[in-house]
Structure 1
């Protein structure tokens, strides 16, 4: 029998005799300047600097960096890292399927779907009866381009807090795509230029458009082409695509163009017919951000859990402790306090709240 106290210790009772083995949560995972470190396993989860051994939750650049000695991740995440950084992004790699268990120095590691982007995973770390789950980035709503989030019972749940304020309640994806399709009908003479992050968001927007009935060719910026092909190799049908290059001025009226966010403000965008500039992001629910980007059609499409999804996850899991990181920690800490959920803020640095924007800007 395993019982974990809110003070962060595991108490074990075996057979008829009582053996007390005091294990602190920090004995298994602890925050360090390089990221979350597992002392008994001697590995890091999503380290922000090159380390000897890393477990990577997903392929966004603020979580998946090159230069590690060895990397354990899903096969899809390893493929994404190789596509972005080259085949020599690490000295050794190990692909682990969802639900499969690997052991590193006596510590068990398994990966569960996170619902964030293709190949994204929660890192489930088990040692001496203690289970800690590092969510990475996650969302709870359906995404046609990746496996859905799976809750994993645990003693400690380490959660992101990107949208960790009650004001963040994202509308349905279908409603947002319907707004885009309605604009295409209203302005058939204008190109619709949608800014979307290169990994995950762009492919999701394309698939949602297909589900919404848009079967025409979608034009894409060159920075998206390699990742689009990777998604298609993984069985994600994106439909007819064409490069948005070599076009005359005033081109693609009535068509959809997908590009990294920075490209929508670049000279590259001037070739299109009076473009309606859209941007797909959870942050588009904040009017000031939409105005700052000069966005005519803000689309609230997030790859992160909103406030109700975060709270529903905590309520469903009921862990002994919640550790909150990279985002709006204060709101979630207050909710936990009011609902008798022990929690703490990790305040890890090096993670970007704006999804993959840094990579998208660089790629463009």
Structure 2
């Protein structure tokens, strides 16, 4: 049985499955790509053939245009096996955003699972993560430090609604990424009983419409940009992270500026961005979820694609799991407003967040490039 290191390789274009002849989330245009989800640091334009879930393909077409989302596109259902060269592959839910998938590959008796980005917390807008037992687990590590333990999202939504009740004459504007975070916040607000209209920055509207077309009910959504200032008093407005502190937000009535992100666990990040109400809501697994997943998949070996590789590899070693840092550049926490690792610009500035430059992890005392 060949070790996965002999057939799954890190090349300049990304993670390449040699006997299958395809890349997983390639960084540049390739002939054959399997895409885990629709965020711009994972789903890039120009591939000749693209395999993904139907929801991810719909997201790619909406964001990239029909011509750039893959010359040919093939949708794969959950757990539906397909032969790619000499490799058997299938997709399992990752719980990150609509359509997000893990890629499972089997070759000559060896199984590798590539997680993509994932979380373990229930999300009403996407299928929940399913652990897949494997020989090698390829995982992200965005929040792989012990300080990052996310609170229950319902608790953070209650903090938002309590603030709305406390300041009825102010407008609450919440920064959130256009794909995944925005729709999850809306669904969580509906679950908490908020049945009033939710107002949207124009950059968030198209993806909300797509979610609704794909069967995710988000309720009454209205455009904030053309609304009268008085009609937004006491309202909840969602906007891209880059818009909450600029002149767009200042047109609102004495706005309470909030930001929904796992990075709001770090107080200095909230302070530096002028966030009055930090909401710790992330679409990535926290430290406990990452470690629980290593136990659940029972892989004797874990490869870490991006994030805080060293901490997770050390934690894995404590349990007898061999770890390896792949150090793939070009992936980042795009949905939480963070630039991609190795990039100097935000993965998708068209969504209104123009965060650039260096990332600082104050909680760990680290200074990270890109």
* Both proteins in one fold, TM over 0.5: yes
Task: Quote how far apart the aligned CAs of 1:325 are.
Answer: 1.7
Aligned equivalents of 1:103, 1:175: Cα separation in 2:
44
Unaligned runs of 5+ in 2: 338-345, 353-370
The residue number in structure 2 matching 1:14 is none
Check conservation: 2:3, 2:110, Cα contact below 8 A.
Answer: no
Query: Which residue in 2 is equivalent to 1:41?
Result: 20
Decide which of 51, 61, 68 is 2:47's aligned counterpart: 68
CA distance in 2, matches of 1:168, 1:204: 20
How far is 1:92 from its partner? 0.6
Indicate yes or no: 2:185 matched with 1:169: no
Could you list the structure 1 runs, at least 4 aligned residues long, displaced by more than 3 angstroms after superposition: 247-251
Corresponding residue for residue 233 of structure 2 = 253
Q: 1:58 aligns with which of 34, 37, 45?
A: 37
Distance of 2:281 and 2:219 partners within structure 1: 20
1:258-277 matches, cutoff 5 A: 258-277=238-257
1:256 offset after TM fit, Å?
A: 0.3
CA distance in 1, matches of 2:167, 2:327: 45
Worse-superposed segment, 123-132 or 179-188: 123-132
Aligned to 1:5: none
Out of 264, 274, 280, the position equivalent to 1:284 is: 264
Give the SS at the match of 1:224: helix
Structure 2 match to 1:344: 324
Alignment counterpart, residue 315 of structure 2, candidates 335, 346, 358: 335
TM-score, structure 2 as length reference: 0.91
Counterpart for residue 81 of structure 2: 101
Structure 1 residues 115-264: aligned runs within 5 Å: 115-249=95-229, 251-264=231-244
Deviations 1:289-346 (A, max 9, x none): 1111100000000000000000101112221210012100111111112211111111
| Alignment deviations for residues 194-213 of structure 1 (CA, whole Å, 9 cap, x no partner) | 00000000000000000011
CA distance in 2, matches of 1:55, 1:356: 23
Q: How does 1:7-26 map to 2 (within 5 A)?
A: 10=1, 23-26=2-5
Tell me how many residue pairs correspond in the alignment.
343
Alpha-carbon distance in structure 2 between the residues aligned to 1:267 and 1:308: 38
Q: Distance in 1 between matches of 2:318 and 2:86?
A: 38
Structure with larger Rg: 1
> 1:181: Cα distance to partner?
0.3
Normalising to structure 1: TM-score of the pair?
0.92
Find the aligned partners of 1:95 and 1:144 in 2 and give their Cα distance.
22
